[in-house]
Structure 1
């Protein structure tokens, strides 16, 4: 699953005192989510090269004739479109969701590929995590409700990954609420 949990062990702060939050600036749990990348950059270069070679193969039969110049723009246009859409897929995959949990706050920051940030925060004690098996935009749709709003989490993950994330999130929220 394209997700990574960073968890802090609970321990007494070095300077203890009533109402002191010193040393508690770091969250107890931090989840980072990103879309799955099935084709790494190195594979991208190999795929484009192999596609170019396979597109050039039929051109060998018409080498030296006027038909070559009729087919060449369409074949190279196909390769250019393939390149463009794969690059766009890489750019869209720069989406990132950061979920941070403290005893008194839960915070979700979603950064889209253009760098725009959407933020949500609430008290974890009052946050409801829901898994919508049907009826959402995607199967096993996860929402967090609290702070007067409802937000989605991990809509770009597969249904199985969202179900696993749901169980992990419930466990972490239970740990933080103690």
Structure 2
């Protein structure tokens, strides 16, 4: 699962939950995909070697390869999100580190922190939020449906103690 509790002992004075989006394409896979795409793009060019037509087609094929590179790199950069929920005996604090480097923070008294699941009416199915301190914030919206359900159960157990 793309989230983990750093302290699993429920009697510990401090617990920390880290959440991150699933990264399906590691750096080696990215390089292999770009290399395979380049190889497949070059296949139609072999019969054109030595002709003037090659120079007319080559820029468009390289532009297509650059577009694939840019799209995959942008997707990877946009998924650089980290959410950290810190629970102490008297406070709950959620910090979301966005891909741009900016951080969003929420904190409240742990007694008033309530996890809520919106099964149908959220932007995604089984939308999980934390409510407290006069605000309601999302947590783990990038997780899959099953992972959000499991996250909600974990949050209920962690905040109940």
SS in 1 for 2:6: strand
Residue matched to 2:36: 50
Structure 2 runs not aligned, ≥5 long: none
| Separation in 2, partners of 1:117, 1:57 | 46
Query: What is the correspondence of 1:1-178 to structure 2 with a 5 Å cutoff?
Result: 1-7=1-7, 9=9, 10=11, 27=14, 29-175=15-161
SS in 2 for 1:50: helix
SS in 1 for 2:5: strand
Q: Find runs of 4+ consecutive structure 1 residues off by over 6 angstroms.
A: none
TM-score, with normalisation over the residues of structure 2? Answer: 0.93
Q: Check whether the contact 2:130–2:138 (CA below 8 A) recurs between aligned residues.
A: yes
Cα 1:155–1:127, aligned 2, differ >3 Å: closer, same or farther? same
Shift of 1:88: 1.2
| Separation in 2, partners of 1:118, 1:167 | 24
Q: Which has the larger radius of gyration?
A: 1
TM-score, with normalisation over the residues of structure 1? Answer: 0.85
Post-superposition CA distance 1:54-107 (Å, at most 9, x none): 000011122222221221111100111111111112211221100011121100
Residue matched to 1:21: none
Count of residues paired in the alignment: 160
| Separation in 1, partners of 2:49, 2:125 | 51
Shift of 1:8: 6.0
| Separation in 1, partners of 2:7, 2:135 | 26
